[in-house]
Chains A and B, each alone.
Chain A
Amino acid sequence: AQSVTQPDIHITVSEGASLELRCNYSYGATPYLFWYVQSPGQGLQLLLKYFSGDTLVQGIKGFEAEFKRSQSSFNLRKPSVHWSDAAEYFCAARKDAGGTSYGKLTFGQGTILTVHP
């Protein structure tokens, strides 16, 4: 079955420290990949996406992600975390095909990021 795994339920970092959130996917072929962020009581905001091409993707708010086909991973990184980055982060994937892929994102369980001052 297709799945997305975020191994870390909760991560705590100090403000100014670097951040890496892990995401692994299990699909028959390389899916389209996304990272979203959700603040408490809010919807999901798109950080970045990967469809094809350059494996290092730049997003908003200083985030980037690297696609590694050999490791089936799409990890999110930020060189210096700000207190306002505290939120829950979701990795998501969608098949590159019609039919059962229409509109269907498969999400990881999310990683809660806490930022200490």
Chain B
Amino acid sequence: KAGVTQTPRYLIKTRGQQVTLSCSPISGHRSVSWYQQTPGQGLQFLFEYFSETQRNKGNFPGRFSGRQFSNSRSEMNVSTLELGDSALYLCASSPGTSGGRTDTQYFGPGTRLTVL
């Protein structure tokens, strides 16, 4: 099976702009989670989607949003970019079965966002 894919791999934006990142999960996986990775804060959970519904979210401002489509592909959007949003954004997919209790997350290569 193909792994998790993320596009684009690299992005450069300026402050105040918005950006959309895309994630295609492993075939058959219905849960998609997003994480932000920075040197200072490490890996932090953004949100999780399952069957087009956000089931969980982390402690990020409302500028960070996401959605999931019927084919399980997911996008995340960051509006009004700030310098501190520069990070590696990782997407992970999992089957989402059994109520997610024994789910294992498989990560994509990430999108490196640089905000100037």
Instruction: Say if A and B assemble together.
Output: yes
Which A residues have a C-beta under 8 Å from some C-beta of B? Answer: 32, 34, 36, 41-46, 49, 51, 90, 92, 96-110
Nearest A-chain residue to B50, judged by Cβ: A102
**Alpha-carbon distance between A74 and B101 when the two chains are bound, in angstroms:** 19
Contact A45 B107 (CB under 8 A): yes
Contact A43 B110 (CB under 8 A): yes
Which B residues have a C-beta under 8 Å from some C-beta of A? Answer: 4, 6, 31-33, 35, 42-43, 45, 47-50, 55-56, 58, 90, 92, 94, 99-110, 112
**Alpha-carbon distance between A42 and B108 when the two chains are bound, in angstroms:** 8
Pairs across A and B, CB under 8 Å, 16 listed: A42-B109, A42-B110, A43-B6, A43-B109, A43-B110, A46-B104, A49-B104, A96-B101, A97-B101, A102-B56, A103-B92, A103-B100, A104-B48, A105-B43, A110-B42, A110-B43
